[in-house]
Amino acid sequence: MPSKHNKTEPQLTRRDFIIKTATVCSASAVVGLWGYAFYSNDPVRRQDTKIFTFKDYRVEDVKTYPNLAVSRGTDAEKMVRAAVDRIGGITRFIKPGERVLIKPNVSWDRQPEQAANTNPEVVAAVVKMCVEAKASVIWVTDVSVNDPYRCFARSGVEDAAKKNGGVLKFATENDFVQTDLKGKALKVWPVSAFFHQVDKLINIPMVKHHSLSKCTMAMKNLYGVLGGQRNRLHQDINTSIADLAAAIKPTLTIMDATRILMRNGPTGGNLADVARGDTIIAGTDIVAIETYGLSFLDLKPENIPYILMAEQRGAGTTDIKSLNIAEISV
């Protein structure tokens, strides 16, 4: 009796044989090519990541304007305008169509009165001036220490930026690019990519006490460009700050000294720690502005190592007596 499963294969024709052989050959060729093309001595394929460097955001120095403009008063917007106008007006720094990034200090989930973040009125004034200078893009950004959404909302900077025509930029984990700062402590670090996508940078720091570096002002505000594990920088904070000041050259620095955090910095939290400063300082020499700001905290540049280091690196001068400082009352 024949098998129940008695279906037999059809006889192989010459054509079928050639087709089958060709299929097997081409399949082995593909396998061989795959091995050849992807053969590697490394277990993981690495792609070369592009390493960025900071551009020079500064504009040409004009000797006819004072080096620093200091305005005193109580109306933040008027003070900012007066100070900037005295050193050539916003049009000296921002040309129509340029992309501008504004870097306030918005590190902490605190309210404006607690003076842990840049005064939102100052941010509003700077954004307005950039709008008037016809900047094509006005970004406001910071890499906050507390939750960024809360920091920007509760500091009032979010409203100040949005209502006056600025755009808030929150850096997510994917928004950081490796950047060579060419410093002694800071070499290649992740930096918020927004800083590489603009033409001009306006630094709006504030004046605060800080236990380790003694103060945090214009130069330490540049910490806010960094991502990664920047808490390690505390281990050599003075060199790190000097490295930042040497690597990043903002177009303009407008220091908010309307409120000063005298103690318990940089977080503050108690109104008793806050003093009135009622001053705005504008200029292009970040070291000079920093040195000027020390007076609010009763400090001397000789005692602040990072300022001296930054001066040596050519970021500016601490000898503010030799500078032409314009004082304005508003």
List residues binding other proteins (CB under 8 A). Answer: 108-110, 145-150, 153-154, 170-174, 210-212, 229, 231-232, 234-237, 263-264, 266-270, 273
In this complex, which beta carbon is closest to other proteins, that of residue 184 or of residue 263?
263
In this structure, how many other beta carbons lie within 10 angstroms of the beta carbon of residue 40? 9
- Buried/exposed code over 74-87 (b: 16+ C-beta within 10 A; e: otherwise): eebbebbbbbbbbb
Helix, strand, coil shares of the chain as percentages rounded to 5?
40, 20, 40
Residue 77 sits at φ, ψ, to 5 deg, of -65, -45
Smallest gap from Cβ 156 to other proteins, in A, equals: 14
The least CB distance from residue 150 to other proteins, in Å, is 6
Closer residue to other proteins, CB minimum distance, 90 or 242: 242
Nearer to other proteins, 176 or 292 (CB): 176
The strand pair at 188-192 and 325-329 is best described as unpaired
Q: In angstroms, what CA-CA distances link 321 with 318, 324, 325, 328?
A: 9, 8, 9, 17
Nearer residue to other proteins within complex by CB, 135 or 177: 177
Strands 274-283 and 68-72, by their bridges, are: antiparallel
Strand pairing class (206-210; 214-216): antiparallel
Nearer to other proteins, 203 or 240 (CB): 240
57/223 with CB nearer other proteins: 223
CB of 160 to other proteins, least distance (A): 17
Angle between helices 237-247 and 305-312 (to 10 degrees): 40
In the chain, the largest separation of any two C-alpha atoms, in whole Å, equals: 117
Helices 286-294, 305-312: inter-axial angle, 10-degree rounding: 160
Least separation in angstroms between residue 170's CB and other proteins is 5
Our CB check for other proteins shows the closer of 107 and 279 to be 107
Q: How far is the CB of 209 from other proteins (least distance, A)?
A: 11
Q: In angstroms, what is the minimal distance from the CB of 269 to other proteins?
A: 4
We find the least distance from the C-beta atom of residue 264 to other proteins, in angstroms, to be 5
Radius of gyration of the chain (CA): 29
Q: Phi and psi (nearest 5°) for 91?
A: -65, -20
